[in-house]
Chain A
Amino acid sequence: MKNANHHQEDKLASFLKTNAPIAPAGTKAQEVLCKNLIFKESFLNPWLFPILATVSLITASLLFLVLSEENHKIPSANEVSSSKILYETFIANKESNNIDELYVDWDLLAENI
């Protein structure tokens, strides 16, 4: 009886195995989509936000420093030397009593100091 049941079970299994439905084949597009969902997702990994935040903070700090420097600009070597020449010329003219040359363009001097 047990053997007959086994035999029947084998026949049923064989019938189902032979006639089992077969799924339609997948497409290349589905494979690509699946890959993208797995591998492109890593772009939005948990490190992305902290990295972007740090980069933004550093950029903002550098920008602030550059702008601060602009406001407290130290005169360049050329500007210093031209002021110096102007001042020395004035002193020299004064010492030689060259009145005509005593005129000093104070605006120009002020700009260069």
Chain B
Amino acid sequence: MGAIKSLVRKYKPTHKDHEHFNEIAFTHFYRTHNQHIRNVLFRLGVEDELDDLVQTTFIKAWKNIDQIIQSEHIKSWLSKIAVHSAYDFFRKNKKFKLVDCEPEMLEKPSRPNRDDKDLALEALNKLSFDHRTVIVLCFIEEYTLQETAEILELPIGTVKSRLARAKHAIQTYLEDMGVTL
């Protein structure tokens, strides 16, 4: 990404067709990160509006592409935009419980013997947005606690406590479903 950015900067003032050049750079940027962003949003519970939120994320990202200083941070920076877009969306549409919830609040499973993928998705669906986000970022996307704290703009202590509670909730759910880890 650093290479693309430096090329855009280098050519933008002099290149006769810089708009076309930017389009090429954007296409590369979009194709490189599209599936990652789709997965992050999908794992956060965005389904029907997935395409719209992917679009919103890329538009916001491209408009602020100058904010990126180091290319190795591009993935977490994009994830941050995606997570905040998803949060805004859920808050506006009130489609998700955004507050923390106790494990006891989770519904007890009614149909055992489901496939592991279904169980993982169901376990995620049982979590609040806040808990789900830390699980997705730390366990699935494999960001460090520090990176997760930066993405969510939270103190690292808050991330740790949310992770502990979310983990406990998921473990309880999976144990109830007969999954032994």
Contacts and interface: CB of A to CB of B under 8 A. Distances in A.
Interface residues of A, number: 26
A38 B120 contact: no
A13 interface: yes
Interface of A: 8-9, 11-13, 15-26, 30-31, 33-35, 37-39, 42
B109 to A, nearest CB: 16
A30 B19 contact: no
B23 A34 contact: no
A21 B43 contact: yes
Interface string B17-35: 0010011001100110011
B54 A30 contact: yes
B42 A22 contact: yes
A86 B153 CA distance: 96
B142 to A, nearest CB: 7
Contact of B27 (A11, A21, A31, A33): A31
A26 B23 contact: no
Given A8-B171, A34-B59, A25 B27 contact: no
A21 B117 contact: yes
B96 to A, nearest CB: 16
Contacts of B140: 13, 16-17, 20
B60 to A, nearest CB: 10
A37 B120 contact: no
Given A23-B39, A23-B50, A39-B22, A15 B34 contact: no
A52 to B, nearest CB: 20
Given A26-B35, A31-B31, A15 B120 contact: yes
B170 A16 contact: yes
B139 interface: yes
A42 B39 contact: no
Nearest to B34: A26
Interface string B155-178: 000000000000100110010000
B19 A19 contact: no
A112 B41 CA distance: 84
B174 A15 contact: yes
B154 interface: no
A26 B55 CA distance: 10
B181 interface: yes
Tell which of B31, B35, B51, B170 has the most Cβ of chain A within 10 Å.
B51
